[in-house]
Structure 1
Amino acid sequence: MVIFMESEYILNNYVLEKLVAKSELNNFRCASDDLTDFLKNDALKQQEQNLNITQLITCDKEIIGYYSLLTDSIELKNIRDTDSKNIIKEKLPKNKKLPAIKIGRFAISEKYSSQGIGSQILKNLIFNLIKISEKIGFRYIIVDAYAKAYYFYVKKNNFVNLKKDDKKLEKIDKIIETDPEYTFFLYMDISKIKS
């Protein structure tokens, strides 16, 4: 018998647990085979090499989802906001790359998808990253999003695509249909949220 928890209950009671060797992952499945496979086969190996940190999102010992974080950078030329770009160029004239935290993977269990849980957890994650940015210098949160997750990140969670992808994104619905795991680089300027 499959037991479903209410989304409100999950959002009020979920906890984060760092992935460890004894984490029980067998019952986790999300809509993407690639994201499911990453958690089960690659996440711990990469974490052991200090390439990322994976946090399991659990509620009553059930894995609701997970995310992996790592450091990265974004090229200054890819920033859409000309005013921000010019201010950064003025303050850091030699920098071509800017520090960022990357959400390497983010997935919610198939069982609990499309209930608003992912957006709320992502908002909480962004809030926590903003707090961390007060102690560690970075300005951007970035993600390589699958085409099928484009609306989730851009429309629901205020990420921005690179200008170079504007033309391609005119056909986003077709891309989602034909190549749902095509990847778009998206970013969020946390200074816009802090102010």
Structure 2
Amino acid sequence: MDIDYIKENYRFETLNGKHDLSDFKCESDDLTDFLKDDALTQQKSKLSLTKLVMCDDTVVGYVSLLTDTILLKDIREGDTKHDIKDQLNITSKKRKLPAIKIGRLALDEKYTRNGLGSEILMSILFNVKNIAENNVGLRFVTVEGYARAYKFYTRNNFINLKKDDDKIKEKLDIIIEKDPEKTFYLYIDLRVLE
């Protein structure tokens, strides 16, 4: 299937038992297995919600979303942190702030490395931003991204926690080579989308 066609015609559908997932395979067995074996069970248990990225009748990818919080102390120093502290008159570093977490995000391996993932991620972020503006208060989107996906998320304006700076600067390529599924916690302030 042509990537430009997919970019113009993909849609999100909530996972259900009628979807055929047999042909879906991404670069991570863990992410493939989650979709095929666990996503629907978790959804039925109200632990996460999985949206399939569909083009025509083909499962191109998926995203699994759930609620989360981020500690104020984990947000990098700067305008965002100072705005929140000033607006809410917060002094506790342990204050939790509401977030939506991307629990899993994956594309079928046939459709990777061509900008489709970034486009889908931006669509997800704008959908979450719409929810934040119209349905429930939240300001951040979080993800525990695999080391091999770290650069993908940072290219899309996600920020790692300060505590991981040294590991990432000095050892990211080594980590990707030795343990590509090691996770790093990253976040984005939805206000960057304004």
Q: Percent identity?
A: 53
Residue type matched to 2:164 in 1?
A: D
Matched, 1:22 2:18: yes
- SS of 2:133's equivalent in the other structure is coil
TM alignment of 1:57-96, pairs within 5 A: 57-90=53-86, 91-93=88-90, 96=95
The equivalent residue for 1:52 is 48
Tell me by how many angstroms 1:23 deviates.
Answer: 1.3
Q: Distance in 1 between matches of 2:124 and 2:39?
A: 18
Structure 1 runs of 4+ with >6 Å offset: none
TM alignment of 1:98-177, pairs within 5 A: 98-135=97-134, 136-155=136-155, 157-170=156-169, 171-177=171-177
How far does the alpha carbon of each residue in 1:3-58 deviate from its partner, in whole angstroms, 9 at most, with x for none? xx111100111111110112111110000000000000110000001111100111
Residue type matched to 1:26 in 2?
A: S
The equivalent residue for 1:97 is 96
- SS of 2:176's equivalent in the other structure is helix
Tell me by how many angstroms 1:124 deviates.
Answer: 1.0
The total of aligned residue pairs comes to: 189
Q: Distance in 2 between matches of 1:48 and 1:62?
A: 23
Conserved? CA contact 2:126–2:193, under 8 Å: no
Structure 1, gaps ≥5 residues long = none
Conserved? CA contact 2:61–2:107, under 8 Å: yes
Tell me by how many angstroms 1:191 deviates.
Answer: 1.7
Structure 2, gaps ≥5 residues long = none
Residue type matched to 2:159 in 1?
A: V
- SS of 2:137's equivalent in the other structure is coil
Q: Distance in 1 between matches of 2:157 and 2:79?
A: 19
Tell me by how many angstroms 1:115 deviates.
Answer: 1.4
Q: Distance in 2 between matches of 1:193 and 1:16?
A: 20
Tell me by how many angstroms 1:82 deviates.
Answer: 3.2
Tell me by how many angstroms 1:118 deviates.
Answer: 0.7
Tell me by how many angstroms 1:144 deviates.
Answer: 0.4
What's the C-alpha RMSD, in Å, of the aligned pairs?
1.2
Residue type matched to 2:64 in 1?
A: S
Tell me by how many angstroms 1:81 deviates.
Answer: 3.1
Residue type matched to 2:106 in 1?
A: A
Q: Distance in 2 between matches of 1:192 and 1:55?
A: 24
Tell me by how many angstroms 1:92 deviates.
Answer: 4.8
Tell me by how many angstroms 1:89 deviates.
Answer: 2.5
Matched, 1:181 2:181: yes
Conserved? CA contact 2:69–2:97, under 8 Å: yes
Indicate the larger mover: 79-88 or 101-110.
79-88
- What TM-score, normalized to structure 1? 0.93
- What TM-score, normalized to structure 2? 0.94
Residue type matched to 1:131 in 2?
A: N
Residue type matched to 2:181 in 1?
A: E
